[in-house]
Amino acid sequence: MTQILALFDELFKPQPILATLANLFPWLQVLPPMKKAQDKVFGRIDKVYEFVKERISDREENFDADVIRDFVDLYHAKRQDDTHNLCEKNLICMIMDLFGAGSETTSTSLTWHVLYMLHNPDVMTKCQGEIDTVVGRGRPVKLADKANLPYVEATIMEVLRLSNIALLTLPHALNNGGEFRGYKFPPRTLVVANLKSVHVQQDKWDQPDLFNPQRFLLDDGTVNRKLPLVAFGMGPRMCAGELLAKQELFLFFANLLQRFHFRPATSSQLPSLNGILGITNSPELFQVKLVAR
């Protein structure tokens, strides 16, 4: 587990801006600097691919059809049935997706949550007060508590809005072409939407640069879900892991707040809120003190 997480950390860590540009505009890859940057990223992907492939091979040697332990065992079991058209490459890519989309993005988002609590200790205190009132400290926070912790949920939503770990959507295509603000696009035009722009629109958000979880709460104290928060995209191609990610964030964030205060490592200066763009938008490296409550 530590090996594969380390490999994904290397894969997702900040990339040269040239690699990002070459990914968005493939024709740039003919330029030597662009190709060099892309090759570096692809080299990291190949390392993860080979690691996963080796683990699958190890499992095949010890496979027992009567004991299905996990996803890979199920793959080997189904592969023995000729009616299933299964491909090892697809299995490897699916496992890479599960780890990449299911671990790195959540951990990066949780890091942003800690960082924003350092900058907004009043919000942290209010979240902790709500948790103490609703749950107490005698048991862990559970998913069933989420409906009764609206301010905690609103805080998570506000961090998602401002941190923007996915600044852009994955590439989409206009099957039939279209027109937008006077620009005409032919069929199959590649479209990459800017999610961050939605989260800072002046006409959609009151003081969009201000960290204010209260904006996600209605007058009766319940969560306002009608605001244009699109951290996971939107429509039929939105992030398939949205529900799982939100559940994970709530459980980790709420339970950390229940047990700890977050304090700056140094009293002289708070860590930067600037992001570093790689595959995801991650905060700059910072230190934090966890003080038991």
Q: CB-based contacts of 241: which residues, under 8 Å, 6+ apart?
A: 101, 102
CB 250 within 8 A of CB 256: no
Percent of residues, the chain, with pLDDT higher than 90: 46
CB 166 within 8 A of CB 281: yes
Average pLDDT estimate for 183-188: 93
Does residue 20 carry a pLDDT above 80?
no
Tell me the pLDDT band of 18, cut-offs 50, 70 and 90. Answer: low
Q: What is the pLDDT of residues 44-78, one digit of tens each?
A: 888 888 988 988 888 878 888 888 888 888 888 88
Count Cβ neighbours within 10 Å for each residue of 186-199 and write b for 16 or more, e otherwise. eeeeeeebebbebb
pLDDT at 130: 98
Q: CB-based contacts of 256: which residues, under 8 Å, 6+ apart?
A: 114
Please provide the distance, in angstroms rounded to a whole number, between the alpha carbons at the two ends of the chain. 30
Helices assigned H by DSSP within 80-205: 88-99, 105-119, 121-134, 150-163, 195-199
**DSSP letter assigned to residue 181:** T
CA distance 61 to 89: 18
Tell me the pLDDT band of 198, cut-offs 50, 70 and 90. Answer: very high
Average pLDDT estimate for 86-105: 81
Kindly report the pTM of this predicted structure: 0.83
Tell me the pLDDT band of 133, cut-offs 50, 70 and 90. Answer: very high
Does residue 154 carry a pLDDT above 80?
yes
Average pLDDT estimate for 202-214: 95
Average pLDDT estimate for 209-214: 96
Q: CB-based contacts of 98: which residues, under 8 Å, 6+ apart?
A: 71
> By three-state DSSP, how is residue 104 classified?
helix
In sequence order, what are the beta bridge partners of 263? 289
Residue 264: CB atoms within 10 Å: 16
* Lowest-pLDDT range of 77-91, 204-218, 226-240, 266-280: 77-91
